[in-house]
Amino acid sequence: MTMENLGNNGQSNGKCPFMHGASTTPDTSPLKWWPKRLNLDILHQHDEKSNPYNSDFNYREEVKTLDFKALEKDMHDLMTTPQSWWPADWGHYGGLMIRMAWHAAGTYRVADGRGGAGTGNLRFAPLNSWPDNGNLDKARRLMWPIKKKYGNKISWADLFILAGNIAYESMGLKTFGFSYGRPDIWQPEIDIYWGPEDEIMAPSENRYADLEDTSTLETPLGATHMGLIYVNPEGVNGKPDPMKTALHVRETFARMAMNDEETAALTAGGHTVGKAHGNGDASKLGREPEGANIEDQGFGWINPTLAEKGPVTSGLEGAWTTNPTQWDNGYFEMLFNHEWELQKSPAGAWQWEPVDILEENKPIDAANPSVRKNPIMTDADMAMKMDPIYREICLKFKDDQEYFSDTFARAWFKLTHRDMGPKTRYIGPNFPGEDLIWQDPVPSGNKDYDENDVRAKISSSGLSISDRVSVAWDSAKTFRTSDLRGGANGARISLSPQKDWDANEPERLSKTLSILKTIASDTGASLADTIVIAGNLAVEEAAKAAGYSITVQLVKGRGDASQEMTDVNSFSNLEPAADAFRNWSSGKSKSSPEELMVDQAQLLGLTAPEMTVLLGGMRVLGANHIDNKAGIFTDKEGALTNDFFVNLTDMNNTWNIVEDNKYELKDRQSGEVKWSASSVDLVFGSNSILRSYAELYAQDDNKEKFVNDFSKVWTKVMNADIF
């Protein structure tokens, strides 16, 4: 079959008498027949097979060899070097590059830490084909000569954010800083849940229980529609209502970790430069990148009237300020010094335009310097004027340009660096030295102490294996690979809010910590290190009880954070709805415990085999929440045996449901109840993939492998936040 037989979308036109044998489209997946199957794919995304670099390539080391000054000069030059294939508004690409950086970073949400700019995910579907990201494929292609020149020394992920910073600097803003060090991914982040809708830009009711109560937006979502970063610029569901829009702006930005002042600064600062594009008929545009024809080569929204009408992107048309390529206070002057009325753009979108404005205050047309056109405001802009809280903030900004610039620069830095982890990970010459509370600062810990002395005191403390495993696990389990927050470093399990979480058994935790704090004080070790040592020692003792001698290696130097270093509201987002590894569920999630287990494992950076061996080990160690005995399929609790898997896969046993999420294991012959279980226990026997791992660890010749593999995964979790 030749390409001559294929249509524009690569589909056979019927002339070919056979089909190829591989399943190469989502619709032909052999697993679509079993939709209730627990999907483990997110645990295996970004496999080394998708990465074109050699295994020894380390971007975070490679970028340190970059000529930072040369790259940044080239980026400055790019801003004002128009290309014939894509016009630059007023001869400056700054507005486009800022929008690209914002939309790369702005998908971040505090609930699960997913999204954000840290991976360069904007290159891939669905983000590259969202309506809100229209024509950002052009922005990336404008940077291709620079990416090509500097190659492996600069990632797309870093370039996206650097472009926004350089754009603002070239327009007159003193930025707060920038860090390199975001490695690229090579496939979409399939772990990110973008919403329940089956169509882009479906009505907001699809993701709100009550559209009038913005807090009912489905968690963890951070936008009013799938296909938008935050809110519809025309108003909620495309109906202008600035006061209602204000409520939705407040909620969506809060879910992106921004307070009211930061939200107002970002809204104003984002619209101080650049313009919206809607000077034409949107129906004439080509398909989005993922839906376009093969000859479009990844470009999307191709506009046949580009030369005549200019770009069409949002549908709104116009600039917000008199001087859209200058960082100034023009946004507030324009917003507050004019009355505004609803108008329709040439593309048919609702926008606000001034009732009366002097000709000299109108911005010059982006393509024709001899023409001035009305400025515009979106519904979100009008919210800044009409909502009393935002209004007060914006009037303060209006009267103090320096204060506005500093507030915006800090908020922009937070927006673009929120998912990079602690400041110790920052790379390059331009990041700020100031400690910021949203960076979750942790002081350096002492390394000069006697680990054996700590171990001896823990051994004689009276703390059980279960006590020690539980406190170490609870300290480390908050880590999220999504935004590199949480983990054992900082010992924040001893601080609010973590010390009071139900998942952490507050009463038991308090008793355990009081003992470990004394040991830490007596030995000079940090509490954070002491907690991890306690867990490591428990694992070693459990392995010895199973007949194996192992040493769980410690990385010294964790520090202890203070309550003042801890943003309580921010850390509340790390509170788990369930902890499968301790067989606990709050019952507050509509997702099944098994689904929450996979989500938890993915955020911890575990593969499916690692998740399996970790859970089986935690069960026999007796690390369940409070007195829950579900899943402890052993008569030797506290010994690191493979009994969980042996008894789970034993055909002499039967499983019987008692009530929702409660099961009993009975002897097949006698009917005697031997053990109880939850659904997260039984899924390792019912799911064919997980059962394959369970059977592996149940083998007689893999008892030692089980111990060694558990130790490796345990160490991985304990050290996850050491960078």
Residues designated catalytic: 103
Query: What distance in Å separates the CA atoms of residue 543 and residue 642, rounded to the nearest whole number?
Result: 11
Query: What distance in Å separates the CA atoms of residue 79 and residue 142, rounded to the nearest whole number?
Result: 10
Measured on CA atoms in the order 354, 358, 360, 364, is the torsion positive or negative?
positive
Burial of 564 (0-12, 13-18, 19+ CB in 10 A): exposed
Number of other CB atoms surrounding residue 461 within 10 Å = 16
Asked whether the beta carbons of 430 and 180 are under 8 A apart, the reply is: no
Burial 171-183 (b: 16+ CB within 10 A, else e): bebebbbbbbbbb
Query: How is 440-454 classified by DSSP, letter by letter?
Result: ---PPPP--S-HHHH
Asked whether the beta carbons of 598 and 42 are under 8 A apart, the reply is: yes
3-state secondary structure 621-650: CCCCCCCCCCCCCCCCCCCCCCHHHHHHCC
Query: What distance in Å separates the CA atoms of residue 144 and residue 142, rounded to the nearest whole number?
Result: 6
Asked whether the beta carbons of 253 and 393 are under 8 A apart, the reply is: no
Could you give the angle at which helices 465-476 and 527-545 cross, rounded to 10 degrees?
A: 130
Q: Give residue for tokens 């993939």.
A: 689
Kind and range of the H or E run holding 516: helix 506-523
What phi, psi does 351 have (nearest 5°)?
-150, 160
